[in-house]
């Protein structure tokens, strides 16, 4: 062991200045990134486990956790752009495979997007809208496939895919009736606030279900809850069709994996720095 460490020390001393800087920089970046991801997993796991579930009927204002079922917006489901599946929410990405002179491949995103409509959920007591902008969305329905033709019947407007290149298509969806777990900032809109909320959304969809939703909501004259990203960026905004238990496991696993990974660049950094200086 001692011999190996001495060899590493010798090697660190023999590095020229530019290699030394590069290795130090790369190891520092990886150390910090892995450590940040470890802390993120740890924090999220604790926040999810430590936040009680609010019922929508009497939902407390502020950072809250809700559980319910997704429903098509005022009975109007969306059609996802890549697979044309009926859903309540979607996100898609199309990437093109590029090769450099050495034959190394990389993926460049040529088109991506999310459904602009809020997601409607209900529990046993009431309904709420989830405004997914800025949220981490975890879905059970996630499809990914590859295609060389670039000639699919895709409903996303004019996109130059370029024939002959390999493309990767990814689509995530939330379907009607799926259980939804969400953690974010909950606020209740009165009638005036509701108009302010729906007006900018209606610009994208002037005669669609959003108008109908706004009218129906006004007719019901009951408050509308909206769950959205919290102003405090440290508080995660999570929307998931996986249950609370699965999410806790997921973030605990993230913390464990990055805790282990953290040690590799950290020790490499320590070896190079102290070998050089020692």
Partner 1 sequence: MDWLGPVIFLAVLVLVGLYGVVIYNNLVSLKHGVSKAWANIDVLLKQRHDELPKLVETVKRYMSHERETLREVIAARNEVEQAREHEDVKQVGRAEGHMRESLMNLFAVAEDYPELKADQSFQQLQQRISGLENSIADRREYYNESVNLNNVRIEQFPDVMVARMFNFGPFDLLEFAEAEKRDVDMGNLFGS
Where on the chain is the footprint of partner 1 (CB under 8 A)? 2, 5-6, 8-9, 39, 42-43, 46-47, 49-55, 57-58, 60-62, 125, 266-267, 270-271, 274-275, 278
Nearest one of 217, 235, 234 to 226, comparing CA atoms: 217
To the nearest whole angstrom, how small is the minimum distance from the Cβ of residue 135 to partner 1? 20
Specify burial of residue 190 (Cβ count, 10 A radius: 0-12, 13-18, 19+). exposed
In contact, 180 and 240? CB cutoff 8 Å? yes
To the nearest whole angstrom, how small is the minimum distance from the Cβ of residue 220 to partner 1? 15
26 versus 60: smaller Cβ distance to partner 1: 60
In the block, which residue shows the tokens 């769950």?
227
To the nearest whole angstrom, how small is the minimum distance from the Cβ of residue 16 to partner 1? 22
Q: Which residues in 26-36 are b (16+ Cβ under 10 Å) and which e?
A: ebeebbeebbe
66 versus 137: smaller Cβ distance to partner 1: 66
Beta strands, E only, the chain: 62-71, 78-79, 86-87, 89-99, 105-114, 119-122, 127-130, 136-138, 141-147, 167-174, 179-189, 224-228, 238-240
Q: Which helix (H) or strand (E) is 41 found in, with range?
A: helix 17-50
39 versus 261: smaller Cβ distance to partner 1: 39
126 versus 173: smaller Cβ distance to partner 1: 126
To the nearest whole angstrom, how small is the minimum distance from the Cβ of residue 53 to partner 1? 7
To the nearest whole angstrom, how small is the minimum distance from the Cβ of residue 271 to partner 1? 8
* SS3 (DSSP) at 147: strand
* SS3 (DSSP) at 186: strand
62 versus 177: smaller Cβ distance to partner 1: 62
184 versus 275: smaller Cβ distance to partner 1: 275
To the nearest whole angstrom, how small is the minimum distance from the Cβ of residue 180 to partner 1? 19
6 versus 29: smaller Cβ distance to partner 1: 6
Nearby residues of 69 by Cβ (< 8 Å), 6 or more positions away: 121, 122, 123, 177, 178, 179, 180
To the nearest whole angstrom, how small is the minimum distance from the Cβ of residue 43 to partner 1? 7
In contact, 128 and 235? CB cutoff 8 Å? no
């Amino acid at each position: 062991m001692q011999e190996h460490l001495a060899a590493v020390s010798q090697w660190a001393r023999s590095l020229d200045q530019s290699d030394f800087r590069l290795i130090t920089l790369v190891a520092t970046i990886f150390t910090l990134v892995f450590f940040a991801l470890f802390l993120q997993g740890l924090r999220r796991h604790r926040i999810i486990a430590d936040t009680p579930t609010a019922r929508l009927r009497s939902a407390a204002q502020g950072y809250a956790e809700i559980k319910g079922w997704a429903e098509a917006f005022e009975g109007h489901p969306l059609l996802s752009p890549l697979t044309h599946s009926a859903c309540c929410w979607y996100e898609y990405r199309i990437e093109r495979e590029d090769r450099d002179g050495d034959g190394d491949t990389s993926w460049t995103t040529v088109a991506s997007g999310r459904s602009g409509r809020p997601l409607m959920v209900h529990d046993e007591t009431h309904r709420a809208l989830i405004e997914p902008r800025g949220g981490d969305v975890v879905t059970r329905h996630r499809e990914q496939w590859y295609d060389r033709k670039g000639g699919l019947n895709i409903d996303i407007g004019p996109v130059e895919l370029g024939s002959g290149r390999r493309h990767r298509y990814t689509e995530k969806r939330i379907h009607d009736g799926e259980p939804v777990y969400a953690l974010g900032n909950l606020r209740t809109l009165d009638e005036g606030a509701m108009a302010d909320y729906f007006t900018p959304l209606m610009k994208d969809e002037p005669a669609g279900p959003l108008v109908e939703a706004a009218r129906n909501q006004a007719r019901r004259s009951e408050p509308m809850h909206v769950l959205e990203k919290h102003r405090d960026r440290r508080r995660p905004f999570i929307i998931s069709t996986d249950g609370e238990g699965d999410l806790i496991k997921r973030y605990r696993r993230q913390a464990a994996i990055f805790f282990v990974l953290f040690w590799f660049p950290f020790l490499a950094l320590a070896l190079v720095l102290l070998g050089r200086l020692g």
